[in-house]
Structure 1
């Protein structure tokens, strides 16, 4: 009887553990590229990206981010705030590194001053 109860507890523990491991894998983590991006100012972004890339970032922001929630205005946050938010949201939107960087460039160029 005791062995049967121990086996049942072991089985339950294994099922719970597998469930937790499965759920943890469902939450995306930012790629190393996105997580390692420094906070850049508008001038640095404009030196790295041309107007076409920034416009592409706007299209990506509008088309991807609005799928899940109301869009925030770019000027509602500072570059530091956008950088922190995007490290979490880019993986959730399933954007690749390049597209994530373009969205980030668009938002930082149009962000409020720090």
Structure 2
């Protein structure tokens, strides 16, 4: 998530999680775990600019719409593959491809060595 929102704070993260809980995001059937960071980014009206955190402009995020009405973030072929970043006040839109690979945490290779 910090790839898209420079200096994302714990307070902001907490607010995103609270919004997801309130909107019952976790009850959506079939949402891949790898989509959670992208879905959480859409749980904020906008991320305000902050020189302290290295954010120059206000921005918000939107998941691309599904080709068929009624489809959510289930991932059959041809469905959501991008998240859109809208920068304000210019309304410039940048699309980012969703990376649905599980990140490899630095310490996991050592854990795997110890378990072998």
TM-score, normalised to structure 1's length? 0.27
TM-score, normalised to structure 2's length? 0.26
Higher relative contact order (CA 8 A, sep 6+): 1
Higher percent of residues as helix = 1
Higher percent of residues as strand = 2
